[in-house]
Structure 1
Amino acid sequence: MSGAPSSSTEPVTHIHQLIAYIEQGARPKHEWRIGTEHEKFVHRLEDFGPVDYAGERGIGEFLIRMQRFGWEPVHEAGNVIALKRAGGASISLEPGGQIELSGAQLESLHDTCSEVGNHLEQVNEVSRELQVGMLGFGFHPHWRREQIPWMPKQRYDVMGRYMPQVGSMGLDMMLRTCTVQVNLDFSSESDMVRKMRVGMALQPIATALFANSPLCEGKPNGYLSYRSRVWEDTDPDRCGILPFVFESGMGIERYVEYVLDVPMYFVHRDGFYVDCAGESFRDFLAGRLPQLPGEYPTLGDWDLHLSTLFPEVRLKQFLEMRGADGGGWQGLCALPALWTGLLYDSAALSAAEELISDWSGEEVMQLRHEVPRTALRTQFRNTTVREIARDVLAIADEGLANRNRLDKRGRDERRHIERLWQTVDSGVTPAEELLDVFHNRWRGDIEPVYTEFAY
């Protein structure tokens, strides 16, 4: 989004340099952009199994063939591990072979939705050639963890070793989850704090609206957003709701202090990832990192460390909204529309602030814990998440109307949240729609998911 990882090799020795790096992401309102990311699972058509990296029909070959559309390859140890092109968009490879589009910085939701559509057209062309298909769910509805091949990226080796030391579901997060998220800008530290508080408080509402992972290994798992449940037991040091966001004194320095206390994964040197799992960035800042004694971090190291934290809202040189399950095409446009409507219009942001003004960090954490199981039916104080979601959508609707960004047919951006209005009006989440089909029409057979829900 607002800034690429720094390539500076100048040593960083003081916390003020780390704070300044994030501050540099601030943009005036007329430069605010929308960056949408989404992931999808890849399967073989003949037996619905996961796709390995190697081979004539593998993920590596998929990335090679995608280059015909103007993508440039990124290599690691001789393997194509990502694609990039002018404008800032990239295609990256998640641990279990999930394909992620990290979209360009775009001015309107019409632009980002067009980008998603063009991407899926390209993906489908290559998929037909390789006889593979793609699904979008928060958690894979069928595969066992041990079935899934690891992709050849060094950073995943480090993370795969470390995850089981800090939580029981970190490997599931890496191999069996998919998300859709949006990256948004801020104009100042105070604007960032306002947006982060609203974003953090309302992430459970987004989780409920986009709940889409009720199946695991071919049967119901007891949750509507199992992906959200998985994140609860991935790594408590770097995941979840951050209660300090709601406290007085919240700002960039407070967030940086939090980041400094989150254990590291690695640093990148000369094309290789150095395993520093569990070490302290504070020690690195003082030149005391055991793996690189006497060496100080660069801003590139800081940017990399920032990217290894996974709270429900992540601050870098922009804000990432991270609470939603992956899903179908409409959801890929609706998620950025929801947050753009809430956070990019001043009246809407003020209304959202008023809605959550007396919510405590502890209440938001409890809501975050309950929503994965009951989604829109979750009780909150004397109401339900469904009713809160109705209020949230009304605010977002107004915000999108106020932006007045029209497409070629004269429609404003509100059309991109119509799917969410349907969800709230019916009270039925995508997860519950899937469960109904699974139990009634499919009679407990999981295989139709690969045809009826494929992109």
Structure 2
Amino acid sequence: MSIPQSGGGPIEHHDQLAGFMESGCKPKEDWRIGTEHEKFGYCTDTLKPLPFEGPRSIEAILGSLRDRHGWSELREGGKLTGLEKGMCNISLEPGGALELAGAPLETIHETCDEVNQHLSEVKDVCESLGAGFIGLGAAPHWLHEDMPLMPKGRYKLMDAYMGRVGTMGRTMMRRTCTVQVNLDFATEADMVQKMRVAIALQPVATALFASSPFFEGKLNGHKSWRSRVWRDLDPARTGMVPFVFDEDFGFERWVQYALDVPMYFVYRDGKYIDALGMSFRDFMAGKLPALPGETPTLSDWADHMTTAFPEARVKKFIEMRGADGGPWRRLCALPAFWVGLMYDQTALDAAWDLVKGLDAETREGLRVAASVDGLQGEANGIKMQDLAREAVAISRAGLVSRARPGAGGLIPDETHFLNELEASLESGQTLADELIAHYHNDWDGDVTRVFEAYSY
């Protein structure tokens, strides 16, 4: 989840809302890659989730990372709830999952180095605490009551609201994890093309990275239970945002969408003020019940934009949000997939040609099919594995064209980061299929075996 935004002055006219996003436009040479990934922490002897406080806890891990690896602490309400180092930060998901929000980097090689460094540091501090971390799309056997809510004002408000909309908001908050990548755009037209490709191909990412066939100790009938959870969370702020494909789509159209997303909070003087279900349109007019007579700042707008949760999201960059969390070897594959599609114009054009004929019904059908059947999914005659194979091939071509070398020039480009995905396409089996096979065979129906086999 996002941390509070800062640095924005008063909003004096409506055009500043779209201007906020437009200010993210960058020339191609300045495009960067920002990768975020979440992971569940647990006690290695009991396999229970880590509490927030205590000798073996989330707080202890944050403190050890601070003391042993040079991170600076972030506190809320006097409690240690995050860390920062350079342009990276470590934050807590509502149920205690640890998230690394990486620095904006130039290549996937750098992204992978960042991921490796972070996970090595986490493993180092965990060994002395009897703790471990695992990357999966959903907690395999924990119950809602097992999961502590982290002491952050934003989460307290969200938890209350999630109990009133949809049916799975609290499940999302406590028991799901994702990996996502944040990418830049050059112009409004570039943003539009990238967003259309991003939304249309999120089901492919969901299928390729599906890793959550377990929930509450048993098979759940889905390859990506995390994706299933997101389909019944809060329709006012989630989903496949079909208006992205309308002719008038652009920054202003996204503004209109975001203005209609009900508010969660306003952040003032280190505290979250309850604005649950209120309207940012009213806030713009000085009529917000939570802060009567006060008008918003650009920081308020930036905060509010982080409370819309569609499958891809525009801020000053585009966030790809459709993938389950996963093991070490897959955390660099997700940014590689999207960078190959998005950061080479020929590849981006080819990706748009691949999906521009899909209608809203088919896109939504593919989203559901990815959740249930992964690469075996199908919607309106479109087979997921065929679509994924073409998308990954386009991504590979894009990475070849980028020709960003690694290892001091010994590796000519970033294509090897797609190897895991290409292996899945060759076999037709994702990590979820692998986990299901273990469950039926060598694990004898015991989902807790996943911790020994797949932890970082």
Specify if TM > 0.5: yes
1:34 and 1:182 in contact (8 A); partners too: yes
Deviation at 1:339, TM superposition (A): 0.1
1:156-175 to 2 correspondences below 5 Å: 156-175=155-174
SS of 1:120's equivalent in the other structure is helix
| Structure 1 stretch displaced more, 187-196 or 366-375 | 366-375
Bigger mean CA offset, 369-378 vs 237-246: 369-378
SS in 2 for 1:165: coil
1:9-48 CA-to-partner distances (Å, cap 9, x unmatched) read 6321432111111100110000000000000000001110
In 2, are the aligned partners of 1:378 and 1:384 still within 8 Å (CA)? yes
Q: 1:9 to 1:432 in 2, by over 3 A?
A: closer
Aligned to 1:79: 79
Cα distance between partner residues in 1 of 2:299 and 2:414: 36
How many Å separate the matches in 2 of 1:73 and 1:237?
Answer: 34
Tell me the distance in 2 between the aligned counterparts of 1:169 and 1:61: 30
Distance 1:96 1:369 in 2: 25
Alignment of 1:343-358 (within 5 A): 343-358=342-357
- d(CA) in 2 for partners of 1:292, 1:379: 48
CA contact (8 A) 1:246 1:360 kept: no
Runs of 4 or more, structure 1, over 4 Å off, are none
Question: d(CA) in 2 for partners of 1:353 and 1:383?
Answer: 16
Q: Which amino acid aligns with 1:380?
A: A
- The answer for unaligned runs of 5 or more in structure 2 is none
SS of residue matched to 2:119: helix
Q: Which SS does the other structure have where 1:273 is aligned? A: strand
Question: 1:408-444 CA deviation, whole Å, 9 max, x = no partner?
Answer: 1224100000000000110011101001001100111
SS in 1 for 2:180: strand
Distance 1:10 1:45 in 2: 47
Kindly indicate whether the alpha-carbon contact (under 8 Å) linking 1:244 and 1:361 is maintained by their aligned counterparts in 2: no
Shift of 1:363: 1.9
Q: Which residue of 1 aligns with 2:25?
A: 26
Between the aligned partners of 1:283 and 1:8, the Cα distance in structure 2 is: 22
Deviation at 1:394, TM superposition (A): 0.6
Contact 1:243 1:362 (C-alpha < 8 Å) held by counterparts = no
- What corresponds to 2:452 in structure 1? 451
Partner of 2:320: 321
Alpha-carbon distance in 2 for matches of 1:208, 1:308: 25
Matches within 5 A, 1:38-437: 38-67=37-66, 68-86=68-86, 88-408=87-407, 409-437=410-438
Q: CA deviation at 1:218?
A: 1.2
Shift of 1:251: 0.2
AA partner of residue 217 (structure 1) = E
Q: Report SS of the residue matched to 2:207.
A: helix
Deviation of 1:370 (Å): 2.4
The TM-score normalised by the length of structure 1 is 0.97
- Give the secondary structure class of the aligned counterpart of 2:99: strand
- Secondary structure of the residue aligned to 2:319 is strand
> Matches of 1:233 and 1:84 in 2, distance apart?
33
- Paired residues in the alignment total 451
Query: d(CA) in 2 for partners of 1:336 and 1:95?
Result: 24
TM-score between both structures, scaled by the size of structure 2: 0.97
Given that 2:365 and 2:380 are in contact with CA atoms closer than 8 Å, whether structure 1 keeps it comes out as no
Supply the RMSD in Å over aligned alpha carbons: 1.1
Q: Which runs of 5+ in 1 are unaligned?
A: none
Q: Which amino acid aligns with 1:433?
A: E
Supply the distance in 1 between the matched residues of 2:56 and 2:202 (Cα, whole angstroms).
38
CA shift at 1:7, angstroms? 3.4
The separation in 2 between residues aligned to 1:319 and 1:392, in whole angstroms, is 19
- 2:362/2:380 contact within 8 Å kept: no
Give the letter aligned to residue 98 of structure 1: A
Looking at structure 1, the residues matched to 345 and 46 of structure 2 have their Cα atoms a distance apart, in angstroms, of 51
Deviation readout 1:200-247 (Å, 9 max, x if unpaired): 000001100011100011110000000000001111000110000011
Cα offsets for 1:139-181 (capped at 9, x unmatched): 1111011111111111100000000111110000000000000
Deviations, residues 275-334 of structure 1 (Å, cap 9, x unaligned): 101000000000000010000000000000001111000100000000000011121000
Amino acid at match of 1:72: S
Conservation of the 8 A alpha-carbon contact between 2:347 and 2:398: yes
Residue identity in the other structure for 2:394: I
